[in-house]
């Protein structure tokens, strides 16, 4: 495995976190390679697609921001260059589990939709 290439990929994604359009073409341009060469190199080196690698770095960084800062969800979304936030919670009450989810437009902190489900915990799979 080419550790320096993987480190470069990670660092590049972190440096472009706020760009929600950053993808394989941008990364290829920074490497001075064609997009297809970049896609192959990332797949061979990591076993993953470029977009999967980018998502994983963004998830790692979001975890850090959630744990290590007092940022709001909207501020974290801005730092990560994402347009939407999916929030979820799970609460257990006796033999039931309540699962609540909501989709939020990160740019204006407006709720797009929300849902709430109450399930028999033994019926969940």
Residue 103, in any domain of the structure: yes
pLDDT of 72: 85
pLDDT of 25: 92
Length in residues, the chain = 125
As for how many domains the chain has, the answer is 2
- In the structure, what pLDDT confidence band is assigned to residue 121 with cuts at 50, 70 and 90? low
> What are the residues whose beta carbons fall under 8 Å from the beta carbon of 58, sequence distance 6 or more?
13, 17, 80, 81, 82
Q: Mark whether 55 and 24 lie in a shared domain.
A: yes
> What are the residues whose beta carbons fall under 8 Å from the beta carbon of 33, sequence distance 6 or more?
41
Residue 124 has pLDDT above 60, yes or no: no
Residue among 91, 26, 33 nearest 54 (CA): 26
Residue for token pair 């699962």: 99
Q: Mark whether 63 and 103 lie in a shared domain.
A: no
Q: Mark whether 51 and 73 lie in a shared domain.
A: yes
Q: Mark whether 90 and 75 lie in a shared domain.
A: no
Residue 62, in any domain of the structure: yes
Write the DSSP string, 80-94: HT-SEEEEEEEEEET
Residue 120 has pLDDT above 90, yes or no: no
SS3 76: helix
Residue 11 has pLDDT above 90, yes or no: yes
- In the structure, what pLDDT confidence band is assigned to residue 93 with cuts at 50, 70 and 90? confident
Domain that holds residue 116: 84-120
Q: CB of 69 within 8 A of CB of 77? A: no
Last residue of a domain, one of 80, 96, 112: 80
Q: What is the mean pLDDT of the chain?
A: 87
Q: Mark whether 66 and 26 lie in a shared domain.
A: yes
Whole-prediction pTM: 0.69
């Amino acid at each position: 495995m080419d550790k320096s290439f993987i480190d470069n990929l990670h660092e590049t994604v972190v440096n472009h976190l706020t760009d929600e359009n950053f993808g394989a073409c941008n990364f290829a341009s920074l490497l001075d390679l064609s997009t297809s060469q970049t896609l192959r190199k990332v797949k061979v080196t990591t076993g993953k697609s470029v977009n999967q690698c980018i998502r994983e770095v963004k998830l790692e960084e979001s975890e850090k921001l959630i744990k290590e800062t007092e940022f709001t969800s909207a501020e974290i979304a801005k730092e990560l260059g994402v347009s939407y936030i999916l929030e979820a919670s799970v609460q257990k009450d006796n033999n039931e589990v309540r699962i609540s989810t909501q989709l939020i437009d990160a740019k204006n902190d407006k709720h797009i939709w929300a849902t709430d489900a109450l399930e028999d915990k033994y019926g969940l799979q």
